[in-house]
């Protein structure tokens, strides 16, 4: 005779139900314990060609979070980071951001996306009203365009228009000294590349009006081969070349342009060259490429900055990137604003953050400010110099002048109809 299971509730099911019941009753206590910690969600790019930058963003955030947590967290609440990969796709970044808030219960977002994804995350922040810090997008419109303005979103990154003003005046001085009149541009074909190049050319021409752009190339982002672009520029025979290619695209471009001896035929201005990711990867770095500072531990030449760069290197065994300092700044600002507001509430932190000036290793004068009117970072170290193929890579950086930047930025905003 086989034993059949009797109808009704089995012993095992009863036990399971009792267990579930016990958990339900216990969970208010659990929930209260969890509320002590505050979750911060962070979509970033952890795979694909930009993964290194995403990883360096995560590293910098974790480095700073450790310090904040050791000092008591955000208004007494320990921070727990929830970091997800967006694979660099805007729709994925938006989905991850939404999920982080709605499903994971994150109360603050660190948007460590490139510009393509940042605008998507920005819409999520607009929709959900959650405090959001854009840490990597340098497209000026994100904060300058009043249509994009929302009270809960801030940018702790540098801004394309600032770079262009400083780069334009630096390049114009060299153009005048060396008589460089014919220029070519070569930049990636997306929002950041188009905007930044346009702004650079505007300021270059403003400071040196007799300059002429004789050739433009717009390779697509992450294109594997630039040979056709390199040869096109060689045909045009410009005296100088501007490019805002970055990361692996820039190193590919340099390798491919090098064998055409392009760098010996024109002055090259590559705003994104002086970042350790590119500097340490290129094997035959041509001497004398003009570049804006991205992150370099020798500029600003302060003990604080050198110490921060070394601490990062000691922990992760590589140098920080441009994205690293921008993310670290986000955490530093969050901690200070929360201290000032004496709260971990997003709205109160946002209130405290507007106009907040903090001490920073990355400041031009040892401080950076979250400008109240458009909620974007100003006062960070910004300058241009020429590269050499070994450390310190950019031995002398000419600092940009923030007074000029502010004047021209205001003018630029007016011309765009933003103010």
If we measure between CA atoms, which residue out of 334, 403, 338 comes closest to residue 364? 403
**Residue 256 touches other proteins, criterion: CB under 8 A:** yes
Count of alpha carbons within 13 angstroms of residue 51, beta-carbon side:
6
Task: Specify which residues 358 forms β-bridges with.
Answer: 368
Token digits for 220? 């697509």
**Residue 48 touches other proteins, criterion: CB under 8 A:** yes
Interface residue with other proteins among 60, 108, 282, 378 (CB under 8 A) is: 282
**Residue 249 touches other proteins, criterion: CB under 8 A:** yes
- Do the bridges between strand 153-155 and strand 79-85 make them parallel or antiparallel, or are there none, so unpaired? unpaired
Distance of closest approach, residue 89 Cβ to other proteins, in angstroms: 12
**What does residue 397 show for φ and ψ, rounded to 5 degrees?**
-110, 130
Stretch that binds other proteins, among 8-16, 48-56, 130-138, 354-362 (CB under 8 A): 48-56
As a dihedral over the C-alpha atoms of residue 262, residue 158, residue 198, residue 260, rounded to 10 degrees, the angle is: 10
**Residue 385 touches other proteins, criterion: CB under 8 A:** no
**Residue 283 touches other proteins, criterion: CB under 8 A:** yes
75 vs 281, beta carbon nearer other proteins? 281
**Residue 216 touches other proteins, criterion: CB under 8 A:** yes
If we measure between CA atoms, which residue out of 355, 362, 358 comes closest to residue 376? 355
If we measure between CA atoms, which residue out of 222, 39, 40 comes closest to residue 135? 40
If we measure between CA atoms, which residue out of 45, 260, 257, 271 comes closest to residue 138? 271
Residue 66 contacts residue 333 (beta carbons within 8 Å): no
**Touching other proteins, residues 53-82 (CB under 8 A):** 55
Interface residue with other proteins among 173, 174, 234, 399 (CB under 8 A) is: 234
249 vs 326, beta carbon nearer other proteins? 249
Token digits for 357? 């000036």
Residue bearing tokens 């709260």:
343
- Going from the C-alpha of 313 to that of each of 81, 123, 318, 324, the distances in angstroms are 21, 35, 5, 11
Residue bearing tokens 């570049």:
291
Interface residue with other proteins among 46, 118, 208, 270 (CB under 8 A) is: 46
**Residue 222 touches other proteins, criterion: CB under 8 A:** yes
205 vs 232, beta carbon nearer other proteins? 232
Interface residue with other proteins among 104, 127, 212, 225 (CB under 8 A) is: 225
203 vs 253, beta carbon nearer other proteins? 253
Interface residue with other proteins among 67, 220, 315, 416 (CB under 8 A) is: 220
173 vs 236, beta carbon nearer other proteins? 236
Cα first-last separation, the chain: 89
152 vs 197, beta carbon nearer other proteins? 197
Binding site for other proteins (CB under 8 A): 46-49, 51-52, 55, 216-218, 220, 222-225, 227-232, 234-235, 247-249, 251-252, 255-256, 258-261, 277, 281-284
């Amino acid at each position: 005779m086989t034993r059949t299971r009797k109808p009704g509730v089995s012993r095992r099911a009863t036990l399971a139900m009792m267990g579930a019941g016990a958990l339900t009753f216990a969970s208010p206590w659990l929930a209260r314990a969890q509320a002590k910690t505050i979750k911060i969600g962070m979509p970033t790019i952890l795979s694909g060609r930009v993964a290194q930058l995403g990883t360096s963003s995560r590293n910098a955030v974790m480095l700073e979070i450790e310090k904040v947590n050791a000092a008591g967290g955000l208004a007494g609440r320990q921070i727990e980071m929830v970091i997800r990969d967006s694979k660099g796709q805007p729709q994925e970044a938006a989905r991850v951001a939404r999920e982080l808030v709605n499903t994971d219960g994150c109360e603050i977002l660190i948007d460590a996306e490139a510009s393509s994804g940042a605008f998507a995350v920005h819409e999520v922040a607009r929709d959900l009203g959650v405090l959001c810090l854009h840490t990597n997008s340098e497209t000026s419109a994100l904060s300058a365009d009043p249509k994009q303005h929302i009270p809960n979103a801030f940018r702790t990154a540098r801004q394309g228009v600032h770079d262009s003003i400083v780069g334009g005046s630096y390049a114009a001085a060299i153009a005048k000294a060396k008589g460089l009149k014919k220029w070519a541009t070569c930049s990636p074909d997306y929002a950041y590349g188009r905007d930044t190049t346009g702004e650079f050319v505007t300021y270059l021409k403003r400071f040196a009006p007799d300059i002429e752009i004789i050739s433009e190339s717009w390779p697509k982002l992450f294109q594997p081969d630039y040979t056709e672009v390199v040869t096109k520029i060689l045909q045009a025979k410009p005296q100088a070349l501007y490019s805002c290619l970055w990361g692996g695209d820039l190193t590919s471009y340099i390798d491919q342009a090098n064998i055409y001896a392009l760098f010996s035929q024109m002055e090259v201005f590559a705003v994104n060259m002086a970042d350790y990711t590119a500097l340490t990867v290129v094997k035959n770095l041509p001497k004398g490429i003009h570049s804006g500072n991205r992150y370099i531990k020798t500029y600003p030449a302060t003990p604080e900055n050198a110490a921060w760069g070394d601490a990062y290197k000691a922990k992760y065994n590589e140098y920080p990137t441009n994205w690293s300092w921008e993310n670290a700044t986000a955490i530093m600002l969050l901690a200070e604003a929360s201290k000032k507001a004496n709260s971990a509430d997003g709205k109160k932190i946002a209130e405290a953050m507007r106009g907040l000036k903090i001490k920073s290793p990355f400041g031009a004068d040892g401080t950076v400010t979250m400008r109240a009117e458009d909620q974007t970072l100003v006062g960070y170290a910004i300058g241009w110099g020429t590269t050499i193929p070994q450390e310190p890579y950019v031995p002398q950086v000419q600092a940009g002048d923030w007074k000029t930047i502010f004047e021209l930025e205001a003018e630029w905003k007016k011309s765009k109809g933003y103010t």
